[in-house]
Amino acid sequence: MSKVRPTKLENFLGQNHIVRQVEIAIKASQAQDEAFPHMAMGGPPGLGKTTLAKIVANEMGGTLISRIASAITKPEDLVQLFAKVKSLNTFIFLDEMEQLDRKLTELLHTALEDGVFSAKLSDGKSVNMKLPEFTFVGATNYLGELPRPFLDRFRIQVNFEPYSNDEIYQIIVGAVQKLKYQTTKDAAKEMSLRARGVPRIAIRYLENANDVALAVDKYEGVITRTCANEMFDIHRIDHIGLTDLDRRILDYLKRSEKPVGLKTLSQGVNEDDSTIEFSESYLIRIGFMVKCTKGREITDRGITHMKGVESCRT
């Protein structure tokens, strides 16, 4: 995946509304010799949030320090992180920011707004750090899950949206060129239609299809549409991109007599909550599932699709 990620903003496909905001902020920051403003990015996994963070740091000639929010559990962790801020164009990138403890987000308020980090450590000592000008970039699946006072400290707030089929097709074509694969247009189109609007999924399909093209003699190393379809059959991906997990979720909801909560659904299909949430976002988007205050329910469209799956198996 790292081989096909763009390193310049001009090569970042899709998310035009976000790219334009970032482009303006980069030029304005450089013109005033200031740090790039703090930025919060929301949206499902695989849409390019981490890639964009790396691109911004690269365009600003800066250094990117990456952390997962779950690894930040106490004030001492923030002290160690901020100790790495040395210059104007230091970027701190925190992924899965919704997992950051609320008390820790409160400690970040003055750091983001005034460049001062103050906290009481676990040994009872206090720390007061004056920080050089820096940029804090955070990524989360849901911006709305972040405390409002914390989110307000980010001048740029953007939400990534699923890519169109055409945008995914262009991403696949670009990846084929970089990876030096042999792929037909029909195959690239077929993979783009099943990628759920997520570049990460599209690249995974491409790499898996290339394995089939190399392993099965009749394809002679070329990813044809037939080759791509064989890969989808092997990995049990249906014609609209649903996986085994998606179908298990729909089957569980179909058999349930009332709305189902996340914990119950996770236990019912034997998967963790975050994995379920990733699947359900797509199922909701295509109208196969709804989520209300009482829980999750399958829709008539979802039931119709599952009946079609059952008929194919009989």
Torsions phi, psi of 158, nearest 5? Answer: -130, 150
Task: For residue 72, give the nearest of 41, 108, 44, 40 by alpha carbon.
Answer: 108
Say which residue, 185 or 276, is predicted with more confidence.
185
pLDDT of residue 299: 95
Please compute the mean of the pLDDT values over residues 102-131 and round it to a whole number.
91
Whether pLDDT at 217 is above 90: yes
Percentage of residues in the chain having pLDDT higher than 70? 97
Look over the chain and give the mean of its residue pLDDT values, rounded to a whole number: 93
Please compute the mean of the pLDDT values over residues 295-305 and round it to a whole number.
94
E strand or H helix that includes residue 92: strand 90-95
**Sheet of strand 90-95, all strands in order from the earlier edge strand to the far edge:** 63-68, 90-95, 135-140, 39-42, 156-159
pLDDT of residue 2: 66
pLDDT of residue 313: 53
pLDDT of residue 175: 96
3-state DSSP assignment of residue 150: helix
Percentage of residues in the chain having pLDDT higher than 90? 84
Displacement of CA 233 from its chain's centroid (Å):
26
pLDDT of residue 51: 95
Please compute the mean of the pLDDT values over residues 80-90 and round it to a whole number.
89
pLDDT of residue 142: 87
Among 163-172, 178-187, 192-201, 252-261, the least confident range: 252-261
Please compute the mean of the pLDDT values over residues 29-43 and round it to a whole number.
95
pLDDT of residue 27: 97
- For the chain, the maximum distance between any two Cα atoms, rounded to a whole number of angstroms, is 69
Whether pLDDT at 47 is above 70: yes
pLDDT of residue 257: 82
Q: Which domains are present in the chain?
A: 9-159 (3.40.50.300), 165-234 (1.10.8.60), 244-313 (1.10.10.10)
Please compute the mean of the pLDDT values over residues 4-25 and round it to a whole number.
95
Task: For residue 43, give the nearest of 289, 266, 277, 276 by alpha carbon.
Answer: 277
> With bands split at pLDDT 50, 70 and 90, how would you rate the model's confidence at 310?
low
Whether pLDDT at 312 is above 90: no
Q: Give strand pairing partners of 128.
A: 118
Say which residue, 291 or 228, is predicted with more confidence.
228
Please compute the mean of the pLDDT values over residues 124-141 and round it to a whole number.
92
pLDDT of residue 314: 47
